[in-house]
A and B are shown apart, each in its own frame.
Chain A
Amino acid sequence: MLKSRDERSFRALYARHSPALYALALRLLADRTHDADDVLQECWIRAVARLRDFGWQSQLRTWLAAILVNCCRELWRDSREELDGDLADVRAPNEDVGVRIDVTTALARLPAGYRAVLVLHDVAGFTHEEIAQQLDIETGTSKSQLSRARRAMRGLLGSANVGA
């Protein structure tokens, strides 16, 4: 049990790590700020409760990010967001008129599972092994989903049908 928890220290820790965690949450949650706010809060509550368990084997930010990803997964599960949605259903909204969409909108159109792998690997810089552990999937699944998610993103950003 923790005997003493200092608010000043927490604020310093929060200020140092929250901007990166919040950016990650926004990407994972398709820019839904309300959900990202909730996930960030839950992430810190769990982190403070478990800080004693942190073994300093990894960077603190990596450990916090893993907690955040777990919070996102629970949110996806609760909201029944499709973790293994079909990329064949992903189409650019205006593909027939050739209008490009921005990267945030394109990310939001990916099924959560593909979006998570893409964001964690290509934006947050995690390895496939770390992603596999965080998302509870096989390393091979992470690799194949990344490849397909990148192709889907290219399709979305180029207003093309990506399902083929």
Chain B
Amino acid sequence: MTDHTPSEEPVPELGSLPDEVTPDAAVEQRTIAALRERSLLRPQSVRAVGARPWLAAAAIAFTAFLAGLISSGPDAPPQPPQPSFALMLYGGSTGNDSIAHAVRAEEYRRWASAEHPWGRVIGGEALRDSAWTVERAKTNITMSKARPDDLVGFFLVQAPSREAAAFLAAECPHLKYGGRVVVRMIAPT
């Protein structure tokens, strides 16, 4: 219902305030200087961090190819309810530092929340290195440190087919960082 008193509704004039205001460039310089002073930042390196250019170019080209492949086909009819898949992320370079990691995580998050023509991402998590194995030995439950593998995270996606899930995986930024994505269909329960 809309029978709010005025105090229950936002002041319309507040909507005129800009969502973003660019700070003076001097603030960035000052901030960087302060971070360096505290040894929280190291000077900009000459060598590019992250994926090799040819790898990124190849990923973009492959994605464009897939996009063309999909868009050139007939319009897909609505597909309710779609099977679910797990995209298991293996390997890949890790961010050199926490900032690079933050940038990377934002990129993954943007990809996950973007609209894709061949499916949608419904969840996902990054995994830490440490792992434990829990086993039952007769009546005892034992827990031991597991051998680390290179599973670094996963996404849960809904896609109409195995191929569509693979197309979705092909766009995952993890490939750009040298990782690989294994697509597994989730068994209906």
A residues with a Cβ closer than 8 A to B are: 2-14, 16, 18-20, 22-23, 26-27, 36-37, 40-41, 44-45, 48-49, 51-52, 54, 56, 59-60, 103-104, 106, 118, 122-123, 147-148, 150-151, 153-154, 157
Contacts and interface: CB of A to CB of B under 8 A. Distances in A.
B35 A48 contact: yes
A106 B34 CA distance: 34
Contact of A5 (B14, B41, B103, B105): B41
Contacts, number: 148
B8 A147 contact: yes
B148 interface: no
B138 interface: no
B17 A27 contact: yes
Interface residues of B, number: 45
A23 B21 contact: yes
Contacts of B27: 18, 22, 37, 40-41
B75 interface: no
A48 B123 CA distance: 27
Contacts of A20: 19-20
Given A19-B23, A20-B19, A23-B18, A148 B7 contact: yes
